[in-house]
Amino acid sequence: MEKIRSIAVTGKGGTGKTVVSTLLIRLLSERFPGRVLAIDADSAMSLCYTTGLKVDKTVSQLRSELLGMRQVREELNNGPTKDLMRSILAHGKGFDLLTMGRPEEPGCFCACNELLRYGIDTLAGDYDYVVIDGEAGPEQLNRRVMKSVDCLLVMADMSARSLQTAAGIIAVAKAGENNIDVKATGLVLNRVRNDQPKEELLKKVGLEVFGELPEDAEVNKFDREDRTLFDLPMDSACPQAVLAILKKLIPEF
Ligand SMILES: Nc1ncnc2c1ncn2[C@@H]1O[C@H](COP(=O)(O)OP(=O)(O)OP(=O)(O)O)[C@@H](O)[C@H]1O
Ligand SMILES: [Mg+2]
């Protein structure tokens, strides 16, 4: 496998993208402090809660602000600067976080995604690892927000629908249309229970499993108590499962 530097997590809504992204960010930044860039590419904004960071400004807010100022509007038209992008990063323990946020006006999703893509492209080179918590479905692949990630982890639970969505996303990534250049794609099953027959379901959609997470009562508890997943005991089931995935992706981990 080629060296993995950037990992995007995608899949159907509610399948565990944010849980997996957060644990990837946590494990990578514990091991490689200061060398990890986290991207919250979901307009619903979750990483600020699961990592416990305060986000002062999102990419979407930056965009609206720039559009309101003539001088900076020109700057935006001429290509926004890296400094502007850097100025809105939130700083965590061992990682920085760029948050897309919700578009302020209706119908400007594309523009926000485009600015986010610029942010990712321009900042990624300053870090060794990039983790993207994506929006549900294949849209951000089509919008090329995730166009050149090294590894796309596609989440699914044991429902036929989420596996079909996963199969669709994997097909888009593998087709490589629209300048999408994803090097490796892996299906990650979440909330796996041993009493459910999964082989038959997987065979139906023609997918192989790259990683698995069990149902984890600790994750549920932290969620209810609105606590950051950075405080989740490392020996609980989900952190251990994500560690196993990282070891497969990054041999030196
Ligand atoms: N393995 C697990 N064990 C227990 N709870 C889990 C597990 N995975 C996810 N959850 C819980 O399921 C819910 C959905 O997970 P998460 O937010 O990570 O999904 P998502 O794919 O990011 O959702 P969205 O599409 O809304 O962004 C959360 O409340 C999370 O705490
Ligand atoms: Mg999420």
**Residue boundaries of the structural domains of the chain:** 6-249
- Say yes or no: CB of residue 124 within 6 Å of ligand 1: no
Centroid of ligand 1 to alpha carbon of 15 (angstroms): 6
**DSSP secondary structure code for residue 16 in this structure:** S
- Say yes or no: CB of residue 126 within 6 Å of ligand 1: no
- Atom of ligand 1 at shortest distance to CA of 238? 1
How are strands ordered across the β-sheet holding 184-192? 90-91, 95-99, 36-40, 129-133, 6-11, 151-156, 184-192, 209-214
Kindly identify the ligand whose nearest atom is closest to the C-alpha of 47: 2
Supply the pLDDT for residue 220. 95
* E strand spans, 100-249: 129-133, 151-156, 184-192, 209-214
pLDDT truncated to tens, each residue of the chain (253 aa)? 679 999 999 999 999 999 999 999 999 999 999 999 999 999 999 999 999 999 999 999 988 887 776 666 566 656 667 888 999 999 999 999 999 998 877 766 788 888 899 899 999 999 999 999 999 988 888 778 888 899 999 999 988 899 999 999 999 999 888 788 899 999 999 999 877 677 877 887 888 899 999 999 999 999 999 999 999 999 999 999 999 999 999 988 9
Q: Taking the complete model, does pTM exceed 0.75, yes or no?
A: yes
- Atom of ligand 1 at shortest distance to CA of 136? 25
d(CA 91, CA 37): 10
| C-alpha 218 chain-centroid distance | 22
- Say yes or no: CB of residue 34 within 6 Å of ligand 1: no
Dig out the tokens for 5 from the structure.
Answer: 């530097």
Structure confidence by residue, pLDDT tens digits, 145-170: 888 899 999 999 988 899 999 999 99
Centroid of ligand 1 to alpha carbon of 14 (angstroms): 5
Atom 1 (ligand 1) nearest CA: 215
Q: CATH for 6-249, among 3.20.20.70, 3.20.20.150, 3.10.129.10, 3.40.50.300? A: 3.40.50.300
Centroid of ligand 1 to alpha carbon of 65 (angstroms): 32
- Strand (E) or helix (H) holding 248: helix 237-249
- Atom of ligand 1 at shortest distance to CA of 155? 21
Centroid of ligand 1 to alpha carbon of 3 (angstroms): 28
